[in-house]
Chain A
């Protein structure tokens, strides 16, 4: 929230805020969460290529750029709203707003202008279904997740994960003007992948989240329940990861990647469950967190390679 101390739990001390006359250009860029933008471009691009519909390259490129800008804008609004809790967590205390390099009002204006601009340009470049889906994603992340779920329920990242899972659907809407089964399956993969990914990090950072008053699963249900749920989600993720093969848009390369990747996720989740103390616990959770990123990247990279480099060999005949 804009006031840096209005909803902090008792005893939490925000970092001192130094007043600055405008931040650097790089500070504004940091507000857009560039690493998330890269992931959004990547997953939206895969949503486009699995649709098998030709799109004018200029229109496709500009549409991808607008999806990335829209995602960045929602990240900016998230940082504006969460400035108070970012200030008490070491991982986020150096972000531009809690560090005092950018004023909350500047970030709010920046995020709103980019949100409206990206939706309008996407609508003009491709179609208004894609634009409406981008607008929904921004509102869902900035309002439903950041302003409502994040501080009220341990299911915050489960439900809020939908926002991060939508880019493939927007990508498919850009090229086809509709939403098909392919992008819905990609949505489901990211949606089910999100909880084990974030809870692995939350297990390590539970003290930080407690200090900021965020009800993450390890803080509310306890670490043991969280570890069990990580296994459940990894179990569900395994068959969903293989669904593109069953539906015919994932070939042999994807099938092998999803099979061994899914097994890897299960193995890491069991490893997290078994290692509950000290350095072993930390290493296991970090391993799960790191592998989950690799798993999602390889899955989408395999689909992209099959569809765009002609590597597709059907598994189901």
Chain B
């Protein structure tokens, strides 16, 4: 197996920024999921509840 060089350790400041970016990406993904869900319900309208059980 090829030996890859060990990546350098991030400074505390860089690690903090990376963590903030990860949280922001998670928030954007969650927003996107919410948008698609709400949009689907809004487009279906009240008829979505009117079905035979």
- Interface assignment of B35: CB less than 8 Å from any CB of chain A: yes
In the complex, what residues of A have CB within 8 A of residue B17's CB?
Answer: 21-24
| Contact indicator B35/A62 (Cβ below 8 Å) | yes
**Interface residue tally for chain B (C-beta within 8 Å):** 12
- Interface assignment of B33: CB less than 8 Å from any CB of chain A: no
Q: A56-B42, A58-B42, A59-B43 are in contact. Are A25 and B24 (CB under 8 A)?
A: yes
- Interface assignment of B53: CB less than 8 Å from any CB of chain A: no
Closest to A29 in B: B24
- Interface assignment of A93: CB less than 8 Å from any CB of chain B: no
Closest to A24 in B: B17
Name A's interface SS. helix
| Contact indicator B38/A58 (Cβ below 8 Å) | yes
**Interface residue tally for chain A (C-beta within 8 Å):** 13
- Interface assignment of B52: CB less than 8 Å from any CB of chain A: no
Binary contact readout A18-32 vs B (1 if CB under 8 angstroms, 0 otherwise): 000111110010000
| Contact indicator B39/A125 (Cβ below 8 Å) | yes
- Taking a contact as CB atoms closer than 8 A, the residue among B14, B20, B39 that contacts A62 in the complex is B39
- Taking a contact as CB atoms closer than 8 A, the residue among A21, A23, A25, A59 that contacts B42 in the complex is A59
Restricting to A116-167, which residues have a CB under 8 Å from any CB of B?
A: 121, 124-125
User: With contacts defined as CB atoms under 8 Å apart, how many contacts are there between chain A and chain B in the complex?
Assistant: 31
- Taking a contact as CB atoms closer than 8 A, the residue among A22, A28, A124 that contacts B14 in the complex is A22
- Taking a contact as CB atoms closer than 8 A, the residue among A25, A121, A124, A125 that contacts B21 in the complex is A25
A31 to B17 Cα, complex, angstroms? 17
Q: A21-B10, A21-B14, A22-B14 are in contact. Are A59 and B39 (CB under 8 A)?
A: yes
| Contact indicator B18/A124 (Cβ below 8 Å) | no
Restricting to A272-288, which residues have a CB under 8 Å from any CB of B?
A: none
Q: How far is the CB of B30 from chain A (nearest CB, A)?
A: 15
| Contact indicator A121/B35 (Cβ below 8 Å) | yes
Binary contact readout B1-24 vs A (1 if CB under 8 angstroms, 0 otherwise): 000000000100010011011001
- Taking a contact as CB atoms closer than 8 A, the residue among A24, A124, A125 that contacts B20 in the complex is A24
In the complex, what residues of A have CB within 8 A of residue B35's CB?
Answer: 62, 121
| Contact indicator A25/B39 (Cβ below 8 Å) | no
Q: How far is the CB of A55 from chain B (nearest CB, A)?
A: 10
Q: How far is the CB of B22 from chain A (nearest CB, A)?
A: 10
Q: How far is the CB of A128 from chain B (nearest CB, A)?
A: 15
A62 to B41 Cα, complex, angstroms? 13
In the complex, what residues of B have CB within 8 A of residue A59's CB?
Answer: 39, 42-43
A240 to B19 Cα, complex, angstroms? 51
A residues neighboring B (CB under 8 Å): 21-25, 28, 56, 58-59, 62, 121, 124-125
Sample of 22 A–B contacts (CB below 8 Å): A21-B10, A21-B17, A22-B14, A22-B17, A22-B21, A24-B20, A24-B21, A25-B20, A25-B21, A28-B21, A28-B24, A56-B42, A56-B43, A58-B39, A58-B42, A59-B39, A59-B43, A62-B35, A62-B38, A121-B35, A124-B39, A125-B39
